[in-house]
Amino acid sequence: MGGLNRRDFLKLLGLGTAGVLGVPVAASAAAGIPPVAFGYHRLVAAKETRSICAYCGCGCGLIVYSKNNLVVSTEGDPDHPINEGALCPKGASMSDINTIVADNYARVPNARRADKVLYRAPGGTEWQVKDWDWALDQIAQRVKDTRDAAFEEKDAKGVTVNRTQAIALLGSASLDTEENYVIHKMLRSLGVINIDHHARL
């Protein structure tokens, strides 16, 4: 790393790092730095949020730029000690999961995202759109019915086991730690013992 990090650079330009309004080109020239316009669009009026890449286990820092509740760009966090601003192709394209580039170069929501609660009935050939209340109630009922029908209070030797073997969960190494923790608690409260996730895949 040189002596000048990104934050210093922005300070030199007379800018803060959040909610930047306009790039004073003259100021950068005065500071002896060539006037630059790159990054202008994502910096202007964009909210900066610090994040960590969603992909491999390196833990690279990201800056997510957003406007109007949509991600407009992501870039490597230059202040992050692991990646020092660099990103691989996956990390560099993380904005695509929220918005993608349309034909007119504008960013529009990624229409492929799952953004509705969907239900497929037995033998059904299509998804049906549902609301959360309906789905949560229906799933809770199935969890209860399945659990209670197969609940084992004691095993063949008479040991108290309080488990169900009729429900399984394949969880995720992409979820946050806190999310995994509460999901684990929920499963054990139900007596679930069929649990696995990406550690084996």
Find the binding residues for other proteins in span 13-32 (CB under 8 A): none
**In the complex, least distance from residue 190 CB atom to other proteins, rounded to whole angstroms:** 7
- Taking every pair of C-alpha atoms in the chain, what is the biggest distance, in angstroms? 83
Window of 10-18, 25-33, 37-45, 193-201 that interacts with other proteins by CB under 8 A:
193-201
Determine if 107 is a binding residue for other proteins (CB under 8 A): no
Determine if 196 is a binding residue for other proteins (CB under 8 A): yes
What would the two tokens of residue 169 be?
A: 């969960």
Amino acid (1-letter code) at residue 87: L
Number of residues forming the site for other proteins (CB under 8 A): 117
Determine if 9 is a binding residue for other proteins (CB under 8 A): no
**In the complex, least distance from residue 42 CB atom to other proteins, rounded to whole angstroms:** 13
Please provide the DSSP assignment of 67-97 as one string: ETTEEEEEEE-TT-TTTTT---HHHHTGGGG
- Between residue 171 and residue 190, which ones bind other proteins under the rule CB under 8 A? 171-186, 188-190
What does the alpha-carbon distance between residue 107 and residue 130 come to, in Å, rounded to a whole number? 28
What does the alpha-carbon distance between residue 48 and residue 18 come to, in Å, rounded to a whole number? 6
Nearer to other proteins, 26 or 170 (CB): 170
Determine if 103 is a binding residue for other proteins (CB under 8 A): no
Which 3 state secondary structure label does DSSP give 16? coil
Nearer to other proteins, 29 or 150 (CB): 150
What does the alpha-carbon distance between residue 149 and residue 151 come to, in Å, rounded to a whole number? 6
**In the complex, least distance from residue 119 CB atom to other proteins, rounded to whole angstroms:** 6
- Between residue 145 and residue 174, which ones bind other proteins under the rule CB under 8 A? 146-151, 153, 155, 157, 159-174
**Is-contact 168 195, C-beta < 8 A?**
yes
Please provide the DSSP assignment of 17-47 as one string: SSSB----HHHHHHTT-----TTHHHHBTPE
Nearer to other proteins, 9 or 151 (CB): 151
- Between residue 28 and residue 87, which ones bind other proteins under the rule CB under 8 A? 47, 49-62, 64, 66, 69-71, 74, 79, 81-84, 86
Window of 8-16, 24-32, 35-43, 111-119 that interacts with other proteins by CB under 8 A:
111-119
**Is-contact 23 40, C-beta < 8 A?**
yes
